[in-house]
Structure 1
Amino acid sequence: MIKPYLIEIRMMGEPKHTARQLIYDIHKKFRVHGAVKHRPVPHMSLFGPFRCHSLREVIHTIGEVGSEFSELEYDIDGFDYFELKKKFLFITTSSRKNVIYLKIKPSKELKEFRHTLAKKLLKITDSVNFDQDSKDKFKFHATIAMKDIHHKFDEIWDYLQNYDIKTNGMCYRITLLNQGKIMYEYELPTKRLLNRQQSLRRRPRRRITRK
């Protein structure tokens, strides 16, 4: 059964442009398609995917936690990857490197926001990813290549060593998606809940990032 909802941070400014350019570069050079769907939207997932009995309660929770913060800062520092492992009786029988991502170093505030949000949402959703309940084990990341990269992983990884990605970003909105489309956004500075139309029309102020 589909779990349609996801909560994420959509990148702005330099981090967004850097991640999007990397996605297109990898797609073009290595003919892989996993992270390219229409126009890629660089982002960090915070919670989900999930289903729930009361979307109103989920929205209230986002606002309740978000009301304690006005901005959430993070650093981007290099690359890493996820490896999907299959096991039988605790023995790894196969593995596939299926995601390459930008490493995100969250600020203390971002870690606290995500952890507090996850603990509350685990009580009212059907999410079974209990890593989300950990403040320190949860991996903040922004995917730049995925799914069909296994057989080309070494080539892509070598190519990325030519890049020295270090930059800083700031988040002013928390985005709730329904099957990949913006449903609502909570705007941290103004404490406002924006519907889809308002979210697409209104743009939060931007902050110059440091290299």
Structure 2
Amino acid sequence: MLRPYLIEIRLMGESKNLTKKLIYDIFHKFRVKGQVRKRPVPHVTLFGPFACKGIRQVIHDIGEVGSEYAELPYEIDGFDYFELKKKFLFITTASKKNVIYLKIIPSEDLKDFRHRLAKKLLKYTDAVESSHDSKNKFKYHATIAMKDIHHKFDEIWEYLKGYDIKTKGMCYRITLLKQGKIMYEYDLPTKRLLNRRQSLGRRKRR
């Protein structure tokens, strides 16, 4: 079933530059293409992918929850990975490390915002990620390598040990995507909903 929608925050400033540098460093050094098949956009997924009968309620809920925040701080602190496991009768028969990511340490405000929004959206969307409903188990992450990394994982992981990654970032917008393209952004400081044209125009000015 097609789940076209996704809600995320996009990294800006130093956090964005750092993440893009790592993505391209890994691509050039190890020739893995998973994260650069399209133009890399450093981001942290907050909810989805999902489908729903109508998007108006989603937009309303993003604005309602977002109206209580002016900014959402976070920190980046080191690396981790996801491992895809195949099971048969509850026994793991195969595993593959398929994503390397930067660990995002959310502020309490970011955790509260995401959890409050997820509780609303889970009532009428078909999101299947089991951790959406948990305030503390949800994995905040920014992907830097994915898909075709399994056979080169050990080399990439050893290479990343040379990086000491620790920085702070700030989110001012909540981004709603449809099939990978911005539909709307909710601007936290101004409490305004921006359409795609307004959103992209303001990013260029920044």
Question: Would you say same fold, with TM above 0.5?
Answer: yes
1:9-68: CA deviations, max 9, x gaps? 000000000000100000010000001133210000000000001100000000011001
Q: What's the TM-score, normalizing by structure 2?
A: 0.98
Counterpart Cα distance in 2 of 1:204 and 1:117: 28
1:64 aligns with 2:64: yes
| Contact 1:172/1:204, CA 8 A, preserved across alignment | no
Counterpart Cα distance in 2 of 1:152 and 1:118: 35
Query: 2:23 aligns to what SS in structure 1?
Result: helix
Q: Using the TM superposition, give the Cα deviation of residue 186 of structure 1 relative to its aligned residue in structure 2, in angstroms.
A: 0.2
Query: 1:104 aligns to what SS in structure 2?
Result: strand
Counterpart Cα distance in 2 of 1:205 and 1:38: 23
- Give the equivalent residue in structure 1 for 2:193: 193
Paired amino acid for 1:164: D
Equivalent residue runs for 1:4-83 within 5 Å: 4-83=4-83
1:173 aligns with 2:153: no
Change in CA separation of 1:110 and 1:54 when aligned onto 2, cut-off 3 Å:
same
Paired amino acid for 1:55: I
| Contact 1:86/1:92, CA 8 A, preserved across alignment | yes
Paired amino acid for 2:18: T
Counterpart Cα distance in 2 of 1:69 and 1:37: 34
How many residue pairs get matched? Answer: 206
- Give the equivalent residue in structure 2 for 1:113: 113
| Contact 1:58/1:124, CA 8 A, preserved across alignment | no
1:152-192: CA deviations, max 9, x gaps? 00000000000001100000000000000000000000000
Q: Using the TM superposition, give the Cα deviation of residue 205 of structure 1 relative to its aligned residue in structure 2, in angstroms.
A: 9.8
Percentage of matched positions with identical amino acids: 75
Counterpart Cα distance in 2 of 1:43 and 1:120: 22
- Which ranges in structure 2 are unaligned for 5 or more consecutive residues? none
- Computed over aligned residues only, the root mean square deviation of the Cα atoms, in angstroms, reads 1.3
Q: Using the TM superposition, give the Cα deviation of residue 203 of structure 1 relative to its aligned residue in structure 2, in angstroms.
A: 3.5
Counterpart Cα distance in 1 of 2:128 and 2:203: 33
Counterpart Cα distance in 2 of 1:43 and 1:164: 20
Counterpart Cα distance in 2 of 1:184 and 1:7: 10
Q: Which runs of 4+ in 1 moved over 2 A?
A: 203-206
1:93 aligns with 2:93: yes
Q: Using the TM superposition, give the Cα deviation of residue 129 of structure 1 relative to its aligned residue in structure 2, in angstroms.
A: 1.6
